[in-house]
Chain A
Amino acid sequence: MSKYFSIFKMSFKQESKTLSNTLTASVSFLVIIYIFMQLWAFIYGGNGGGTLIEGYTLEMMIWYMIMGEILMYAVNARATCREFSSDIKSGKIAYQLNKPYNYYFYQVTKSFSENIFKLIFLIPSAIFIGLVLLGPIQNFKIEYVVPILFSLILGVFLTGLIYGFCGLFAFWVEEASPFAWIIQKFQMLFGLFFPPELFPAGIQTAITYSPVFAMISGPSKLLANFSWDLFWKVGLSQVVYVVVFFVLGIIVYNLGTKKVNINGG
């Protein structure tokens, strides 16, 4: 465990050297939040919208989306997957597999560390733009901060774990990024753009029991409209999926390493 903690610390230090990348991501993050704010403001004020859509006020919808964007921006899905593909294509995997760690967990830890670093900038940016353009969240209490942060961090960890799992398929098809795109789109469509309540009943249930809920919808709903019931539900879902992808990751990793054809490193 201590070796993964060292990997975490090392990656965190490395990430701090590429501060400009994180700051660029923060600017891009603010731009996309602004676009969505404009879009939803138009929908709420437009000819088809009312002041409430499926129980969400405009402010709740935007805070939901802000949390979703934090989760999307914190985890660079494509980069996480690309690491696996590039190591396998280049033969660098030969060096990685010889090291005294599990390569899958190494990548997940590295990605988690980078993502936590990004959160240091994304969270204040999000709070700033939210407070300036929307004002405080209704009925928000200071004691909600810790459970929401906990859920956010667990969501980030789970998302990295899932994209890492996805990257393992590079052992078979060399380039695993396409799988990441599809997962990312599921995450965006069923988590980021719309709360589950905006979908028909059947899909709503499917979302609630899917990893998307644990990755993005759950934490986002917590920020928009916190309740302790919801917190426990989201937390349970996150823990269950962390265990599931942890185990699946080990299985697929063990199968994948048997497929390795070293190119000379």
Chain B
Amino acid sequence: MGVRSNIKLIFSYLKLNLKKEFNYKTSFFLQIVAMVLNDLFMIIQWTIIFKYIDSFAGYGFNETMLLISISAGGFGVSRVFFAGAWDIKDIVYNGKLDVFLTQPKNVLVNVCSSRTQVDAIGDLIYTYIVLIIIHAQWWWFLIMPIVLVFSGLIYTATYVTYASLCFWINKGDAVAKSVEGTINKAGNYPPTIYNSVVKILFFTLIPTFFYTFVPAQYFFLSFNPWWILGLVGVTALWVAIAFFVFNRGLKKYNSGNLMGGRL
């Protein structure tokens, strides 16, 4: 199954999912606008914090907001394109995977792309609002989509890796939820606040720093091609691990003989 074919599948799903969600027009727009407003609160939060401190070892207001914008955008990419990944638990435990297995597409890509979370579009919009607020340079706006693809992939791949435990154990998504919560929340804060042990953890088993800090620091604040290369490598590694663990899990999958149709 070629990469191009999978990308085409992802975008076809996106189009269909958005059409489906658009049936509830008020709800569709309300969710997006509310998410933007919801995210904007973060700006007030950090304005207050910076009343009491000048910077977190070089991370002032603008730098911290950049972290937050990448965090929101990465989450946005993940939930707009791959929200189906968060259904793995339900799909596995309720035997709903059969319908995906019978289709001539990569099962994991098929599952992940099968749903779009509309409010996450608000997160993507918010990313650019933050760039405007911090007076970002023009090229930051252009580079940001590439950065968000890396963040979104790392976020999704990490979740899929841990959620695939559902194939082996009962309530296997519990670990995935904790890891996801940690990445999502810890990624909003400058790395200097964490001690060395936590930093090692955030560079390895829970790749929080590759989700926000590395892209922010080495794409935008002090360009470093080696770190960017490292980011590409780590992203590829997490995606590969996600596919590996999910595919190993598939061998453990027991069909629920559930008849299902997908329109």
- Interface on A for B, CB 8 Å cutoff? 20-21, 23-24, 27-28, 31-32, 35, 38-39, 41-43, 46-49, 53, 89, 173-175, 177-179, 181-182, 184-186, 188-189, 193-194, 198-199
Contact = CB atoms under 8 A, between A and B. Distances in A.
B128 interface: no
Contacts of A48: 51-54
B174 A23 contact: yes
Given A174-B26, A178-B119, A31 B181 contact: yes
Interface secondary structure of B, over-half rule = helix
A32 B41 CA distance: 18
Interface string B145-177: 000000000000000000000000011001101
B173 to A, nearest CB: 8
Interface in B40-67: 41, 44-45, 48-49, 51-56
B83 to A, nearest CB: 14
Given A32-B181, A175-B31, A198 B48 contact: yes
B39 to A, nearest CB: 9
Contacts of B119: 177-178, 181
Interface stretch (B70-78, B189-197, B212-220, B231-239): B189-197
16 contacts: A32-B181, A38-B189, A43-B52, A46-B56, A47-B53, A47-B54, A48-B51, A89-B24, A173-B27, A173-B30, A175-B30, A177-B34, A178-B31, A178-B34, A188-B41, A193-B48
Given A39-B193, A185-B41, A189-B41, A32 B185 contact: yes
Contacts of B181: 28, 31-32
Interface of B: 24, 26-27, 30-31, 33-35, 37-38, 41, 44-45, 48-49, 51-56, 119, 170-171, 174-175, 177-178, 181-182, 185-186, 189, 192-195, 198
Given A175-B24, A182-B38, A38 B49 contact: no
Contacts of B186: 31, 35
Nearest to B21: A175
A31 B27 contact: no
Q: List 4 tightest A-B contacts by C-beta distance, closest first.
A: A178-B34, A175-B27, A20-B171, A48-B53
A20 B17 CA distance: 31
B174 A189 contact: no
Contacts of A186: 41
B33 A178 contact: yes
Contact of B38 (A31, A38, A173, A181): A181
Nearest to A186: B41
Contact of B34 (A20, A181, A194): A181
B27 A174 contact: yes
Nearest to A45: B53
B178 A24 contact: yes
Nearest to B186: A35
Contacts of A23: 174
A181 B117 CA distance: 15
B193 A181 contact: no
Nearest to A38: B193
Contacts of A28: 177-178, 181-182
A175 B53 CA distance: 40
Nearest to B23: A174
Given A20-B174, A21-B174, A174-B24, A42 B41 contact: no
A173 B26 contact: yes
B187 to A, nearest CB: 10
A43 B41 contact: no
Given A31-B185, A43-B53, A181-B35, 5 more contacts: A21-B174, A49-B52, A193-B48, A194-B48, A199-B48
Contacts of A27: 178
A35 B53 contact: no
A35 B34 contact: no
Contacts of A38: 189, 193-195, 198
Given A24-B174, A173-B26, A175-B24, A46 B189 contact: no
Contacts of B177: 24, 28
B189 A39 contact: yes
Nearest to A193: B45
